Amino acid sequence: MEELQLYNKTYSKVLHIHSLGLALVLLVFCLPSPTSSCTEQEKDSLLRFLAELSQDSGLSASWRNVTDCCKWEGIACRQDRTVIDVLLPSKGLEGHISRSLGALTGLQHLYLSDNSLSGGLPLELLSSSSIAVIDVSFNQLSGTLHELPSSTPIRPLQVLNISSNLFAGQFPCATWKAMENLMALNFSGSIPQGVGDCSKLRVLRTGDNYLSGTLPDELFNAISLEYLSFANNDLHGVLDTANTVNLRNLTTLDLGGNRFSRKIPDYIGQLKRLEEFHLNNNNMSGELPSALSNCTNLMTIDLKSNGLSGELTNVNFSNLPNLKKLDLWSSKFTGTVPESMYSCSNLTALRLSRNNLHGQLSSRIGNLKHLSFLSLSNNKFTNITNALHILQSSKNLTALFIGHNFWGEILSQDETIDGFKNLQVLSMQGCELSGRIPVWISRAANLQMLILSDNHLTGPIPGWITSL
């Protein structure tokens, strides 16, 4: 459990950095020029929006204290006194989203995420001739999305985030045709059949919903996609469609937490720009394709909790110099750790636990100078003394899990072991190790968690344990 929590924290930091980066990019586009006053028409539209809120958490008092709506909280204008931004995320707002916002003829960015808004999404917002970004995620919006008339001209909408709401039904087909400029879509419900018609779509995130079925063939017509995530749904099927190679611009492919099965296809090697590959928690089987070595830009490979098997030597890890995180937890891999893996000098997190790997650790693991998380537990590794002498050269290690290996060996008392200065978690449980608790552990001054359970250690609990 501790291992999972620590590793998930590592991933959370990465996701936070990606989200922060997107927010900063959007913020750059959102910064307006200062102005002196807004028009009466703009003010009236905003006050009608305010009137349809049943709870505004003090927003109305803030607005009424200032006559110029360009100076209201969450509102920004251009030089011509036209409202350009409505930025009110996480304000505790309740009630309906007023269609009056669609009357703001210069509005470009609408952020109302993480509130308690209910009702539907006004058609006037989707049909706006100015809005480029709509983010109403994490509310209680419901109903079906209105369909735009077939005569609607192309709209400027680029980012639509309606995820984590209560919408039902299909995404209206005619609406797709008016959204050729759409670059990012985050939603819930069923996978729309027409999503492939969005030739400019670059980001498609549908994680943590109740999507089912298989991936529609039309999806692979969206050749501009760079970020594709269907994580944590109920999708199934095999990943052997040759159409996937159409998505050559993909940098992130996340299909984790579904029910996909069979082998990882060789075509994965044709996604040369791929940086993150998540296929964890599925029903995949078979060996790792050697073609994975062709994805030389990969930084994250997450294939944990599958039925994958065979030897890891199928992949030439020497071709993956950018790899930072490799997670192969809980599969059926056999053989030894390939020497080529130690060429991934940028690795920060490596998890090979719960497999059938064997042999001794290679001294080349010292090449992984940035390694901070290492889990080798629940395998068949031998020679714990050699392992500890090698691992102490990894000066940046903060978490080390090597339990359920080294069966019946003697826990080394060698006092020359002195390299775990930054270690915070050390787990050596379930090895049936004999001997005493060694003094070298006392030098791990930053240790917060020490797990030695299910061994055959003898002697007293050392007094220095309280100084850790």
- The pLDDT tens digits along the chain (468 residues) read 446 554 454 444 433 433 433 443 344 344 444 445 788 999 999 999 999 999 998 999 989 888 899 999 999 999 888 999 999 999 999 999 999 999 999 999 999 999 999 999 999 999 999 999 999 999 999 988 888 888 889 999 999 999 888 887 777 766 777 888 888 777 766 677 778 878 888 999 888 777 888 888 888 989 999 999 999 988 999 997 778 889 999 999 999 999 999 999 999 999 999 999 999 999 999 999 999 999 999 999 999 999 999 999 999 999 999 999 999 999 999 999 999 999 999 999 999 999 999 999 999 998 999 999 999 999 999 999 999 999 999 999 999 999 999 999 999 999 899 889 999 999 999 999 999 999 999 999 999 999 999 999 999 999 999 888
**Residue 25 forms part of a structural domain:** yes
**Residue 439 forms part of a structural domain:** yes
The helix (run of H) or strand (run of E) holding residue 193 is none
What number of other Cβ atoms are within 10 A of residue 49's Cβ? 23
Q: CB–CB of 83/107 below 8 Å?
A: yes
**Residue 465 forms part of a structural domain:** yes
**Residue 102 forms part of a structural domain:** no
CA angle 198/202/206 to nearest 5° reads 85
Q: CB–CB of 168/145 below 8 Å?
A: no
User: pTM for the complete prediction?
Assistant: 0.77
- Check residue 136 and give left, alpha or beta (phi > 0: left; psi -120 to 50: alpha): alpha
**Residue 62 forms part of a structural domain:** no
**Residue 236 forms part of a structural domain:** no
Dump the DSSP string for 318-363.
GG-TT--EEE--SSEEEE---GGGGG-TT--EEE--SSEEEEPPPG
CA angle 197/222/120 to nearest 5° reads 55
Domain count, the chain: 2
**Residue 155 forms part of a structural domain:** no
Here the CATH number for the domain that contains residue 395 is 3.80.10.10
Query: Which of 169, 133, 185 is CA-nearest to residue 26?
Result: 133
> What's the rounded Cα separation, in Å, for the pair 215 and 210?
14
**Residue 113 forms part of a structural domain:** no
Domain with 15 in it? 1-31
